[in-house]
Structure 1
Amino acid sequence: MRTTPPRSARRSLLALGLGTALVAGALATAAPAAAGPGKGHGNGHGNGHGNGPAYGVSAPKVVTTDDGRLRGSVVDRSYRTFEGIPYAAAPVGDLRFRPPEPAQDWRGVRDAREPGSACPQLPSASNPTTSVDEDCLFLNVTTPAGLDAEREDLPVMVWIHGGSWRTGSGDRYDAGKLAVEGDVVVVTINYRLGPLGFLAQEDLSDAIGDVGSGSAGLLDQQAALEWVEENIDAFGGDPDNVTIFGESAGASSVCAQLAAPGAEGLFDKAIAQSYSCTTRYETLDEAEAVGAGVAEDLGCVGGDVVSCLEDASVEELLAAWPSSGGQFVVGGSALPRQPAEVIAAGDWNRVPVMHGNLQDENTLFTPLRIPSDQYGYLLDPANYEAVLGARFGSLAPEVAARYPLAEYGSPLRVLAAIASDTGSALSTCEHVDAYQVLDASYGSAEVFAYQFRDQDAPALVDFPFPPSLYDEGAQHAGELPYLFPNLFGGPLTAEQQELSTAMVRYWTNFAADGDPNGAGVRTWLPYADASYVQGLDVDSAGGIGPVDVAAEANCEFWASLN
């Protein structure tokens, strides 16, 4: 155990709120099916080889960590899971809003066959997870089932879930496919969400000190990485070969940790899926202004505001949290500067990076940003010129020339395509900017950029619009079932399974040695310019290979308009 604190309904809709309140998100809710043993890929780490990992000694179901012994379970004789492992003390009472403290030891063997509680999040029709339990700082470990008990050298991948910094939990992600086919150890984590993880308020900042308020969620993630550093060898993992990866708000977490001083040395590689590492976060002053409104709503004004906030019920806090609240806070010692600034200056936690997005990211969000009574108007092709005129004024003819109605079918689909190409933390042009900043800052190291492009990928949301007027395409979160089987929607087709196998190999190859290339996958060139982005698609629709995403997304055109 540490003796010092850690270093400073069909398909689910989860709140993701990027700048405005959105009613969709980056996680799915269907319980993943057990992944069967896959084929290895000879990536040079551990026992990966042409026929998959093979071990002569079965690993025990009971392992010993610094805090105590854990009993896990074996799934389909393919992989072991250990769930509900506390990596920090319950953040309750006067620990609410504070940096995480060490977990307590336990006696005997702790049952790790069921997940721990998800962190507090609001129940709603769009969020299937309901929790008001603040004792939620748990993680889950997945390893190949037949791992030799003496091995401690498998690459480790730590998954940080998305969900708008306000929903989700690590146990939703079945990491069996990654572990078995990739010969890696996978850790999925919880971290404090919403006001418990990101509330900044002036009195709280004064009480907490240099770290400031609003950074509990960021510091939780670092505490989980410290747990990995100290304990993952008991599960066959190499603590000196750790990759953090995440999607949407989880990718935002990856980007924040690249710039966070307290994360230095806690990971060796990073994968950010669908969030730009050059996106701006609120400053401490800005976040404290939001927190002042939350405190006022709770009646915490005058007197001992900190005690009042600590005494408020979880339900009251969640209800008072604004739809625009969340994200990381820049200004305290946990995250002193904007990640974009830190990366551009070369002062970041410089590790190999894989960074990418989806071709049609904002196809998911565009209908959710408009009142439903406008759907008919925006789906009617006759309104195309009026819609563009209202949005772009005198520039509308130029935009129409770049996004012809005949190609897209409806004004709504054009707006979705424009939003996917430019203008947000998910958009292609925003990602291209991030690739360029990362690449320029790296020196001799390499950045690997990708774009997921399967137009028939399972959709997180099925909109009831005619496909001729609103083709959903490769929308936000669509790549997740290719890494975490059956996360939402039905099973993948045979052709999509081939793409899934290739993606798992790329992701786990990168976790092994910082290079996604290896036996059985097509060459992935490191980023040099926008034409060196690796397209990930099924073979019948373009397959895997370099694509010029900046040209496709009209990035030069949009830059000229700006």
Structure 2
Amino acid sequence: MTTHRVLTTLGCALTAVLATAWSTAPPAQPARQTAATTVLTHDGLVRGAAHDGYRTFEGIPYAAPPVGRLRWAPPHRATPWSGVRDATRPASACPQPFGEVPGGSIDEDCLHLNVTTPAGAAPAHPRPVIVWLHGGGFTTGAGSSYDGHRMATRGDVVVVTVNYRLGALGFLAHSGLPGSGTFGLADQQAALRWVRAEIGAFGGNAHHVTLAGESAGGYSVCAQLASPAAAGLFDRAIIESGPCTGRPDHPFAPSSVPLSTARAAGVDLATKVGCGSAHDVMACLRRVHVSRLLAAQGTDQQPAYATPLLPNDPAAAIMAGRFHRVPVLIGNNHDEGNGWAAGIIQAGYPVTPDSWPDVAATFFPSPGQAKAIVREYPVHRTDGGPVFGAVIGDANFACPTARTESLLAAQVPVWRYEFADEHAPPLTPGTPPFPLGAPHASELPYLFDLGGRPRDLTAAQHRLADTMVDYWTGFARTADPNGPTLPHWTRQSVLSLAPDHIVPTRTAQSRHHCAFWDAIG
């Protein structure tokens, strides 16, 4: 099996996970509309929707549409409007292929955010704010996929979910193009500046802003921790399954790439769409239809470092102690890699004792590394899927998360968790080739109603969801997740999160073979 073919399979497997997570959940009962509600921002009035216990304001522009000459330009301020802007429904997702957003999107007028806040009169003290950056490999996703009303109402916080430019439109790099490789990160910073300026009108505390994200959203938080341009834009950070010391040379963990690599990908994209030999390559690219750009871009995208917005690889910045000094809540899922392993197996690549050495060599081309992995993770049965999944999860998530925590904790308060519900609701339809346990993204339904649809949870899982919301929002409120009714979470251990079994553990690193991964590099 060739590396190229396997990487293509990986992209398809990940897309399937993300697509079905938001589109196949059982439909929720629609929230009862009780009254309209209007808020004055600096750009104009917005009218949201009042529901039972919370209010939503959707599709608020935080920057000008990045179209025409603003395609591949830093975000510009949104144009103020007259009258009252309807904010009762989401705006378009940023351009992306089919995946999390059914049918994808080709609408570049997408730099919008959504605000969810508890109902009622203005609070005596402004509420903490959680700004959520979605995942999706920097290629798919939308802020509107994450219904944060449970977090807002139970935790008494304001939740903001953000769209940012994706794929080639968000991360194209080209010689002489200001902002190369970081337009999507610049969008996130523009949204944070909007929050600082506007969130008070929604009852939020502009000085208690927690930047949070999962997967590519988690890597985005890492990038913002390392970006000088993000100084002063947030006060705490939550990183879910996006460790800052991930391996960009591995296909499972989209972190960041050198500007030279991003520029080479930009040259390739320009050639594919017929602009490679144009007198003005950027002018040509700005005339190319969105659908053609989407067809030509890579499966996954990464921000570029060695750029003004991101001078250093976030991993190197964290290792050198050059990051914003804010408290951090960070974690991973117990079985991060199982979803990828299952997708690859179902695509026709079984992992057996005979095939395992070749599979390992495909993903770890160094012969010494591949052989060491096979010895450390032996496959003894026909179904080696869980073993393959453990390798993916340990190498790309669990151990980099442990390393990130160690580096951050030398400078700032850090709380680390591991989501470990082995019966978490499946994110994909059908029967996987082996039990997936707690794979990548499986913690999300405990915090959000994905696509506005609550997933089926047992009573014990509902209690776990409530506890996780309490921890996350407590951290946003005080920079410490602990509360009087919660199991105590110490900074000296990893908190294992499972139904009716929330306990500190000190064995996470050994369970995930982290000494092995540290040794082989």
Are positions 1:410 and 2:387 aligned together? Answer: no
Partners in 2 of 1:149 and 1:450 — Cα distance?
34
Counterpart CA distance in 1 for 2:128 and 2:9 is 35
TM-score scaled by structure 1? 0.82
How far did residue 234 of structure 1 move? 0.4
* CA–CA distance in structure 2, aligned partners of residues 555 and 282 of structure 1: 24
Q: Which moved more, 1:243-252 or 1:59-68?
A: 59-68
Deviation at 1:446, TM superposition (A): 0.9
C-alpha separation between the residues in 1 aligned to 2:45 and 2:369?
65
Q: Deviations over 1:22-77 (max 9, x none)?
A: 432557324774799xxxxxxxxxxxxxxxxxxxxx998111011011111112x2
Residue in 2 that maps onto 1:534? 495
Distance 1:296 1:396, change over 3 A: closer
Kindly tell me: are residues 97 and 399 of structure 1, through their superposed partners in 2, closer, same or farther at Cα, counting changes over 3 Å? closer
Amino acid of the structure 2 residue aligned with 1:308: C
**Counterpart for residue 23 of structure 1:** 13
Change (3 A) 1:553 1:417: same
Letter in 2 for 1:88: A
Q: How many corresponding residue pairs?
A: 494
Q: Which residue of 1 aligns with 2:252?
A: none
- Measured in 2, the distance between the counterparts of 1:290 and 1:557 equals 33
Q: Deviations over 1:397-416 (max 9, x none)?
A: 9867755657x872222111
2:304 maps to which of 329, 339, 345: 329
Equivalent of residue 119 in structure 2, options 139, 145, 160: 145
Q: Shift of the alpha carbon at 1:137?
A: 0.5
Structure 1 residue 302 displacement after superposition: 3.3
Distance 1:35 1:269, change over 3 A: farther
Structure 1: runs of 5 or more not aligned: 1-16, 37-57
Report the alpha carbon displacement of residue 534 of structure 1 after superposing the two structures with TM: 0.9
Residue 364 of structure 2 aligns with which residue? none
CA distance 1:244–1:18, shift in 2 (3 Å): farther
Alignment of 1:379-528 (within 5 A): 383-384=352-353, 387-388=356-357, 391=360, 403=377, 410-422=383-395, 424=396, 427-440=397-410, 442=411, 445-462=412-429, 464-465=431-432, 470-485=434-449, 490-526=455-491, 528=492
Match of 1:72 in 2: 48
Q: Could you state the TM-score of these two structures normalised by the residue count of structure 2?
A: 0.88
SS at 2:318 equivalent: helix
Distance 1:162 1:239 in 2: 24
Residue 131 of structure 1 and its aligned partner are, at CA, apart by 1.2
Which of the residues 22, 34, 39 maps onto 1:63?
Answer: 39
Between the aligned partners of 1:336 and 1:416, the Cα distance in structure 2 is 33
| SS of match in other structure, 2:278 | coil
Task: Report the Cα distance in structure 2 between the residues aligned to 1:129 and 1:182, rounded to whole angstroms.
Answer: 34
Paired residue for 1:226, among 170, 176, 193?
193
CA distance in 2, matches of 1:86, 1:394: 51
Give matches, 1:53-452, under 5 Å: 61-75=37-51, 77-123=52-98, 128-146=102-120, 148-149=121-122, 151=124, 153-202=126-175, 206-208=176-178, 212-279=179-246, 280=248, 281-300=256-275, 301-324=277-300, 326-369=301-344, 372-375=347-350, 378=351, 383-384=352-353, 387-388=356-357, 391=360, 403=377, 410-422=383-395, 424=396, 427-440=397-410, 442=411, 445-452=412-419
In structure 2, what is the Cα distance between the partners aligned to 1:353 and 1:19? 34
Question: What is the CA RMSD across the aligned residues, in angstroms?
Answer: 2.7
Partner Cα separation in structure 2 for residue 409 and residue 517 of structure 1: 44
SS state at 1:373 partner: coil
Q: Matches of 1:561 and 1:22 in 2, distance apart?
A: 29
Structure 1 residue identity aligned to 2:466: T
CA distance in 2, matches of 1:217, 1:395: 34
Residues 401/342 of structure 1: CA separation in 2 closer, same or farther (3 Å cut): closer
Displacement, 1:558? 3.6
Structure 1 residues 150 and 429, CA gap change in structure 2 (3 angstroms): closer
The answer to whether the 8 A contact 1:138-1:189 is kept is yes
Can you list the C-alpha shifts for 1:512-539, whole angstroms capped at 9, x where unaligned?
A: 011100121101111x4xxx11111112
Gaps of 5+ in 2: 1-6, 249-255, 362-366
Judging changes above 3 Å, is the alpha-carbon distance between structure 1 residues 68 and 514 closer, same or farther for their aligned structure 2 residues?
A: same
**Deviation readout 1:327-381 (Å, 9 max, x if unpaired):** 1110221111111222222221110011110000010011334572333xx3xxx
Match of 2:122, SS? coil
Give how far 1:323 is off.
2.1
Separation (CA, whole Å) in 1 of partners of 2:144 and 2:194: 17
Which AA in structure 2 matches 1:122?
A: P
The amino acid that maps onto 2:212 is: F
Question: What is the alpha-carbon distance in structure 1 between the residues aligned to residue 92 and residue 403 of structure 2?
Answer: 38
Q: Distance in 2 between matches of 1:229 and 1:395?
A: 47
Offset, 1:485:
3.0
